[in-house]
C-alpha cells in the first residue's frame, strides 16, 4: 500500500512513518517548501514542494497513492503566529491537495482534525455529531477544513474521512513541537521551575502511539459507516494532575494552585470509533507523563524559552530600520540636490554653462533611477532651488507674475512625470518577466525533481523484476554450486554464495554453541567479523526473538550493534547456524531480500543435512573406533578443506601437534582432549600418525591459550608449519 503524508517532520509524523513502514507500506511525504533536510530512511520518497504549488498534481500522478493523510491540525509547517495569513495558506493548501487527489482518483483521503474545533466546555463527552464552537482563528481554520472535506465528499464522490484527535501528547522534538497541554506544562516546569495550574479545567489526552495505532486500524478497513470519528482516551485529567505526576519524579518543581471558576471539561467521545474498529488505549497517564518529562529534562536545552525579553525594543528598532529603508531614497535625493544647487549657482552667467539647465538634468537622473515618486520630489526641490536663486536679484512679486517661471515649472514636472512613468512601466514589465521566469524555473525544477524520483523508483522495481525473472536461474546455480562442494566445506562456501546472490561483500556464518554463545564459522570480509569470533547472541534480543520465530531479522532502526539482516539455518526447529549480513544498501533491506535469504537458508540446510548423513554413513572409516579421533586420511582431508577456505579468506585455522611423555591409548587421548576443546575443534592423526588438533577460526596467537592449557596437563603442544603437503 502507498501512503502519502502531507505534513512536516515532527514527533507525530515520525511515528506515522515508522508505523506504516513497519507494516511494509511505502511511505511518501510532502514536506512543504520549508524543509531542506535529508530524507529519513523509513521514507520511500519525499517531495519538498509547497502545498499550493502546481506540481502537486504531477506528484500525485507520479506516486498514485492509495491513501493521502493530511496532517492538518498537527502540521508544524503552520506556525499560527500571523493567524489570518496562516489561515489563508492552510485552506488554500488543503483545497489544492483535495482537488489534485480528486483529479487522480485517490482511493482515500484522511483529514486529521483536533479538539480545537470546540471552545465551549461540555458537561458530558462530546459526540462526533455535536456542532463545532471554535472561537480562535486556528480552530476556525481547522473547522473550515472539516467543512471543505465534507463538501468534497458530497459533491465529487471522493472518499474523504475526518479523524478528530483529542489533545494528543507525545515527547516533542524541540520547543516548536511543544503544541499539546503536557509539553506546555513540562516546558513551563523546565524554564521556571514552577507550574501554575487550574484544577477546575478538565480535558482528555491520548498518547501519540495510541493515535497512530487508531489511524492504522482505520486505514486497514475498506468501508466506514461514517465520515467523521473521534480518537480519544476518554480519561479526564487537569493541569494539576499533570503537575502532580511531574512532581513525583522531580520534587524541585513548585506547583502554584491558581484554581478559579467552576469545574468544566472538554473531552471527545470515542465510543463509536472503539465499537467499530475495536480500538483501545494502551498508554496510561501514570506511566507516560513522568517518562516524557524525564526525557525532556535530559534535553533541557532544546526546550528553554529563548524569547527575547526586549521584544518591544526590538520591534521599535525593526520599525526604525524599515522607516530608514523607505526614507533612504529621499535622503539621497536631498543630499544630491545640495551640490546640484551650488553648481547651478556657479554656472549662472557663465558663457559655457549658461544655457545648461542643471535642475532638469538632476530631475531626469532621479526619474530614470527611482521612478515617479522621486521624480516629483526632485522636481519640487528644483522648483524651490530655482525660486531661491531668482530671489537674489528679483522680488517675490516679480517672480510670481513672470509667466516664464510657470512655463519652466510645467516643463520640469512634465519631464519628471513622463520619464518617471516610463521607468515605472519598464520596471513592472521587467519584474513580471523575472517573476514568470522564476515561476517557470521553479516548475522546471519541480518536474526535474519528480522525474529523478520516478527514475529512482523505476530502477528499484526494475532491479526487482530482473531479480525475479532470474530467480529460477539463481536457484539452479545455487543448487549446483552446493552439490559440487566437498561435504565438509559447504558452510564455508555458503557465505560466499550468499554474498554473490545478495550482492553484498560482508556475510558471516556463526555456529550456535549453546543457549548463550555462537562461534564464527566463516566470513567473507573483515567487516563481517565486526562482532568478533564469539558472540553472546542471547543478549541480542531483537534478533533472537525474530529468529526463534523462524523470521528474518531486518535492522530497521539501523542499530550499529546488530547486523543489517540475519537469518538462521534450523534443525529440529532450533537455530544452529546464524547468517549475518552487514554490507547491504538500504534499498535492498526489503521483504524480497528477506524471502531470498530464507530460501538460501533452506537450500544450505538441505546440502548440509545431506552431507552430514553421508559423513555419518562413513563414520566407521573416518573415526578411530570408540573415539573422536579422525583417521589420518580424514584429518588430512579436513586440513585440505580448511586450507582452501583460508586461501579464499573465508576462515582461518591452526593445527597443533600434541605429544605426551607417557604412553596413552587413542581412547585416553580422545577423552582427555575432548574435555578441553571447543565443540567446533577437531582432533585426529596426521600422515605420520601423530596426535594433532585443528583449531577453527583461530590464528597462532589465539592458539596460545590452548597451548598453555595443554602444558598444564603435562602435554607439549606446538603449531605445525607445514600442515598440508
Q: Is residue 420 located within the same domain as residue 546?
A: no
Per-residue confidence (pLDDT) for residue 549, from 0 to 100: 84
Q: Is residue 637 located within the same domain as residue 556?
A: no
Least confident of 4-13, 190-199, 439-448: 439-448
Q: Any idea of the CA torsion for 490, 492, 495, 501, to the nearest 10 degrees?
A: -50
The residue to which cell 473521534 is assigned: 230
H-type helices in 485-540, by residue range? 490-501
Q: Is the dihedral of CA 607, 609, 612, 613 positive or negative?
A: negative
The answer to whether residue 244 is domain-embedded is no
Q: Is residue 604 located within the same domain as residue 688?
A: no
Q: Last residue of some domain: 437, 467, 486?
A: 437
Q: Is residue 325 located within the same domain as residue 396?
A: yes
Per-residue confidence (pLDDT) for residue 374, from 0 to 100: 84
Least confident of 7-11, 54-58, 121-125: 121-125
The β-bridge partners of 517 are 536
Tell me the pLDDT tens digit for each residue of 624-671: 888 888 888 888 888 888 888 888 888 888 898 888 888 888 888 888
Per-residue confidence at 164, pLDDT binned at 50, 70, 90? Answer: very high
Q: Is the pLDDT of residue 703 over 50?
A: yes
The answer to whether residue 114 is domain-embedded is yes
The answer to whether residue 245 is domain-embedded is no
Per-residue confidence (pLDDT) for residue 698, from 0 to 100: 83
Q: Is residue 496 located within the same domain as residue 398?
A: no
Least confident of 57-61, 130-134, 282-286, 305-309: 305-309
Q: Please state, in angstroms and rounded to a whole number, the distance separating the CA atoms of residues 139 and 93.
A: 16
DSSP 8-class letter at 486: -
- CATH number for the domain that contains residue 663: 3.30.70.270
Instruction: Give the H/E segment covering residue 203.
Output: strand 201-204
Q: Please state, in angstroms and rounded to a whole number, the distance separating the CA atoms of residues 133 and 121.
A: 10
Q: Which of 511, 506, 508 is nearest to 523 (CA)?
A: 508
Question: Cα dist. 217→107, 214, 277 in Å?
Answer: 16, 5, 7
Tell me the pLDDT tens digit for each residue of 296-315: 888 888 887 655 444 556 67
Per-residue confidence at 110, pLDDT binned at 50, 70, 90? Answer: very high
Instruction: Please state the rounded mean pLDDT for residues 588-616.
Output: 72
8 A C-beta contact, residue 684 and residue 631: yes
Least confident of 58-67, 106-115, 372-381, 480-489: 480-489
Least confident of 71-80, 389-398, 522-531: 389-398
Q: Is 466 helix (H, G, I), strand (E, B) or coil?
A: helix
Tell me the pLDDT tens digit for each residue of 171-224: 888 887 788 888 888 888 888 888 888 888 889 999 999 999 999 999 988 788
Buried b (16+ CB within 10 A) or exposed e, 391-404: eeeeeeeeeeeeee
Q: Please state, in angstroms and rounded to a whole number, the distance separating the CA atoms of residues 125 and 269.
A: 5
CA 620 to chain centroid, in Å, comes to 60
Q: Is the pLDDT of residue 64 over 80?
A: yes
H-type helices in 648-698, by residue range? 666-674
Q: Is the pLDDT of residue 160 over 90?
A: yes
Q: Last residue of some domain: 617, 638, 672?
A: 617
601 φ/ψ angles, rounded to the nearest 5 degrees: -60, -45
Q: Please state, in angstroms and rounded to a whole number, the distance separating the CA atoms of residues 367 and 422.
A: 9
H-type helices in 203-310, by residue range? 208-220, 239-247, 271-277, 285-298
Instruction: Please state the rounded mean pLDDT for residues 585-613.
Output: 74
Per-residue confidence (pLDDT) for residue 258, from 0 to 100: 82
DSSP 8-class letter at 44: S
Q: Please state, in angstroms and rounded to a whole number, the distance separating the CA atoms of residues 385 and 85.
A: 47
Q: Is the pLDDT of residue 461 over 70?
A: no
- CATH number for the domain that contains residue 79: 3.40.50.720
8 A C-beta contact, residue 664 and residue 629: no
Per-residue confidence (pLDDT) for residue 617, from 0 to 100: 58
Q: Is residue 604 located within the same domain as residue 631?
A: no
Per-residue confidence (pLDDT) for residue 372, from 0 to 100: 85
Tell me the pLDDT tens digit for each residue of 344-356: 777 666 656 666 7
Tell me the pLDDT tens digit for each residue of 559-579: 888 888 898 888 777 888 889
Q: Please state, in angstroms and rounded to a whole number, the distance separating the CA atoms of residues 56 and 6.
A: 11
Question: Cα dist. 522→565, 569, 654, 693, 702 in Å?
Answer: 16, 14, 15, 19, 16
Q: Please state, in angstroms and rounded to a whole number, the distance separating the CA atoms of residues 424 and 366.
A: 12
The answer to whether residue 248 is domain-embedded is no
252 φ/ψ angles, rounded to the nearest 5 degrees: -80, -15
Q: Is residue 11 located within the same domain as residue 160?
A: yes
Per-residue confidence at 283, pLDDT binned at 50, 70, 90? Answer: confident
Per-residue confidence (pLDDT) for residue 310, from 0 to 100: 47
Instruction: Give the H/E segment covering residue 580.
Output: strand 574-581
Instruction: Please state the rounded mean pLDDT for residues 465-477.
Output: 54
Question: Cα dist. 15→1, 18, 167, 170 in Å?
Answer: 17, 5, 16, 10
Per-residue confidence at 469, pLDDT binned at 50, 70, 90? Answer: very low
Residue range of the domain that includes 581 = 477-617
Instruction: Please state the rounded mean pLDDT for residues 108-135.
Output: 89
Q: Is residue 231 located within the same domain as residue 84?
A: yes
Side by side, which strands form the sheet with 691-696?
629-630, 682-685, 691-696, 653-660, 715-719
Question: Cα dist. 135→129, 206, 583 in Å?
Answer: 18, 23, 56
The answer to whether residue 326 is domain-embedded is yes
Question: Cα dist. 569→10, 354, 491 in Å?
Answer: 41, 106, 11
Q: Which three cell numbers stand for residue 692?
A: 594433532
Per-residue confidence (pLDDT) for residue 96, from 0 to 100: 93
Per-residue confidence (pLDDT) for residue 215, from 0 to 100: 93
Question: Cα dist. 557→376, 418, 500, 581, 628 in Å?
Answer: 68, 69, 25, 15, 45
Which has more pLDDT, 580 or 79? 580
The answer to whether residue 251 is domain-embedded is no
Q: Which residues contact 579 (CB under 8 A, 6 or more apart)?
A: 495, 498, 507, 508, 509, 566, 567, 568, 569, 597, 600, 601
Per-residue confidence (pLDDT) for residue 667, from 0 to 100: 87
Q: Last residue of some domain: 617, 642, 669?
A: 617
The answer to whether residue 378 is domain-embedded is yes
Q: Which three cell numbers stand for residue 715?
A: 602435554
Q: Is residue 97 located within the same domain as residue 120?
A: yes
HEC-encoded secondary structure of 241-264? HHHHHHHCCCCCCEEEECCCCCCE
Q: Is residue 489 located within the same domain as residue 410?
A: no
Q: Which of 142, 139, 158 is nearest to 150 (CA)?
A: 158
Q: Is residue 142 located within the same domain as residue 15?
A: yes
Which has more pLDDT, 50 or 501? 50
Q: Please state, in angstroms and rounded to a whole number, the distance separating the CA atoms of residues 145 and 149.
A: 6
Q: Is residue 605 located within the same domain as residue 631?
A: no
The answer to whether residue 252 is domain-embedded is no
8 A C-beta contact, residue 497 and residue 522: no
8 A C-beta contact, residue 667 and residue 711: no
Tally of structural domains, the chain: 4
Per-residue confidence at 48, pLDDT binned at 50, 70, 90? Answer: confident
Q: Please state, in angstroms and rounded to a whole number, the distance separating the CA atoms of residues 703 and 656.
A: 8
Q: Please state, in angstroms and rounded to a whole number, the distance separating the CA atoms of residues 685 and 528.
A: 33
Q: Is 227 exposed, middle or buried (0-12, 13-18, 19+ CB in 10 A)?
A: middle
Q: Which residues contact 562 (CB under 8 A, 6 or more apart)?
A: 540, 542, 543, 553, 555
Per-residue confidence at 142, pLDDT binned at 50, 70, 90? Answer: very high
Per-residue confidence at 141, pLDDT binned at 50, 70, 90? Answer: very high
Q: Which residues contact 44 (CB under 8 A, 6 or more apart)?
A: 26, 27, 28, 457
Global pTM reads: 0.52
Average pLDDT, the chain: 82
Q: Is the dihedral of CA 464, 470, 475, 478 positive or negative?
A: negative
Q: Which residues contact 107 (CB under 8 A, 6 or more apart)?
A: 66, 67, 159
Per-residue confidence (pLDDT) for residue 148, from 0 to 100: 93
Which has more pLDDT, 440 or 691? 691
Amino acid at each position: 500500500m502507498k501512503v502519502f503524508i502531507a505534513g512536516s517532520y515532527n514527533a507525530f509524523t515520525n511515528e506515522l512513518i515508522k508505523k506504516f513502514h513497519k507494516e511494509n507500506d511505502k511511505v511518501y511525504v510532502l514536506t512543504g517548501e520549508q524543509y531542506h533536510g535529508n530524507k529519513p530512511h523509513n521514507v520511500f520518497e519525499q517531495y519538498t514542494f509547497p502545498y499550493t504549488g502546481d506540481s502537486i498534481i504531477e506528484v500525485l500522478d507520479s506516486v498514485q497513492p492509495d491513501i493521502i493523510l493530511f496532517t492538518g491540525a498537527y502540521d508544524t509547517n503552520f506556525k499560527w503566529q500571523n493567524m489570518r495569513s496562516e489561515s489563508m495558506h492552510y485552506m488554500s493548501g488543503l483545497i489544492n491537495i483535495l482537488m489534485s487527489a480528486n483529479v487522480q482518483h485517490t482511493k482515500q483521503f484522511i483529514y486529521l482534525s483536533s479538539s480545537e474545533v470546540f471552545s465551549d466546555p461540555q458537561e458530558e463527552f462530546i459526540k462526533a455529531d455535536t456542532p463545532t464552537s471554535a472561537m480562535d482563528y486556528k480552530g476556525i481554520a481547522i473547522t473550515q477544513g472539516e467543512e471543505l472535506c465534507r463538501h468534497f465528499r458530497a459533491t465529487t464522490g471522493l472518499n474523504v474521512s475526518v479523524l478528530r484527535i483529542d489533545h494528543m501528547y507525545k515527547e516533542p522534538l524541540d520547543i516548536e513541537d511543544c503544541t499539546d497541554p503536557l509539553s506546555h506544562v513540562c516546558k513551563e516546569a523546565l524554564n521556571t521551575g514552577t507550574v501554575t495550574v487550574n484544577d477546575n479545567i478538565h480535558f482528555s489526552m491520548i498518547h501519540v502511539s495510541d493515535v497512530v495505532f487508531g489511524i492504522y486500524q482505520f486505514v486497514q478497513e475498506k468501508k466506514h459507516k461514517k465520515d467523521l470519528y473521534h480518537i480519544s482516551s476518554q480519561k479526564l485529567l487537569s493541569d494539576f494532575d499533570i503537575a502532580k505526576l511531574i512532581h513525583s519524579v522531580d520534587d524541585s518543581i513548585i506547583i502554584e494552585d491558581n484554581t478559579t471558576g467552576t469545574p468544566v471539561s472538554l473531552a471527545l467521545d470515542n465510543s463509536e470509533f472503539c465499537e467499530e474498529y475495536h480500538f483501545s488505549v494502551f498508554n496510561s497517564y501514570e506511566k507516560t507523563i513522568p517518562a516524557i518529562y524525564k526525557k525532556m529534562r535530559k534535553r533541557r536545552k532544546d526546550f528553554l524559552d529563548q524569547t527575547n525579553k526586549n521584544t518591544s525594543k526590538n520591534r521599535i528598532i525593526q520599525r526604525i530600520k524599515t522607516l530608514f529603508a523607505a526614507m533612504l531614497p529621499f535622503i539621497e535625493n536631498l543630499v544630491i540636490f545640495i551640490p546640484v544647487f551650488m553648481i547651478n549657482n556657479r554656472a549662472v552667467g557663465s558663457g559655457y554653462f549658461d544655457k545648461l539647465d542643471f535642475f532638469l538634468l538632476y530631475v531626469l537622473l532621479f526619474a530614470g533611477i527611482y521612478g515617479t515618486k522621486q521624480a516629483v520630489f526632485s522636481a519640487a526641490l528644483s522648483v524651490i532651488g530655482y525660486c531661491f536663486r531668482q530671489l537674489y536679484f528679483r522680488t517675490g512679486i516679480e517672480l510670481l507674475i513672470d509667466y516664464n517661471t510657470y512655463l519652466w515649472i510645467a516643463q520640469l514636472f512634465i519631464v519628471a512625470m513622463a520619464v518617471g512613468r516610463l521607468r515605472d512601466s519598464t520596471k513592472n514589465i521587467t519584474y513580471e518577466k523575472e517573476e514568470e521566469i522564476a515561476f517557470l524555473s521553479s516548475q522546471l525544477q519541480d518536474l526535474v525533481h519528480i522525474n529523478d524520483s520516478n527514475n529512482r523508483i523505476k530502477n528499484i522495481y526494475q532491479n526487482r523484476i530482473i531479480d525475479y525473472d532470474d530467480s529460477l536461474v539463481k536457484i539452479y546455480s545455487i543448487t549446483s554450486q552446493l552439490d559440487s562442494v566437498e561435504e565438509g566445506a559447504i558452510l564455508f562456501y555458503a557465505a560466499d554464495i550468499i554474498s554473490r546472490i545478495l550482492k553484498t561483500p560482508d556475510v558471516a556464518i556463526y555456529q550456535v554453541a549453546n543457549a548463550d554463545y555462537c562461534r564464527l564459522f566463516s566470513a567473507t570480509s573483515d567487516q563481517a567479523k565486526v562482532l568478533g569470533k564469539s558472540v553472546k547472541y542471547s543478549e541480542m534480543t531483537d534478533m533472537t526473538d525474530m529468529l526463534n520465530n523462524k523470521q528474518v531479522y531486518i535492522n530497521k532502526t539501523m542499530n550499529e550493534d546488530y547486523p543489517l539482516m540475519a537469518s538462521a539455518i534450523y534443525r529440529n526447529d532450533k537455530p544452529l547456524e546464524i547468517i549475518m549480513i552487514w554490507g547491504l544498501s538500504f534499498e535492498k533491506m526489503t521483504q524480497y531480500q528477506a524471502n531470498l535469504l530464507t530460501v538460501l537458508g533452506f537450500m544450505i540446510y538441505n546440502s548440509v543435512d545431506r552431507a552430514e548423513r553421508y559423513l555419518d554413513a562413513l563414520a566407521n572409516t573416518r573415526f578411530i573406533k570408540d573415539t573422536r579421533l579422525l583417521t589420518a586420511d580424514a584429518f588430512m582431508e579436513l586440513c585440505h578443506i580448511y586450507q582452501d577456505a583460508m586461501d579464499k579468506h573465508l576462515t582461518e585455522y591452526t593445527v597443533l601437534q600434541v605429544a605426551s611423555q607417557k604412553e596413552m591409548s587413542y581412547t585416553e587421548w580422545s577423552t582427555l582432549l575432548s574435555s578441553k576443546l571447543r565443540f567446533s575443534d577437531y582432533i585426529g592423526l596426521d600422515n605420520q600418525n601423530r596426535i594433532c588438533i585443528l583449531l577453527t577460526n583461530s590464528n597462532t596467537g589465539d592458539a596460545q591459550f590452548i597451548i598453555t592449557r595443554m602444558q598444564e596437563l603435562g602435554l607439549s603442544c606446538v603449531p605445525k608449519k607445514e600442515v598440508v603437503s
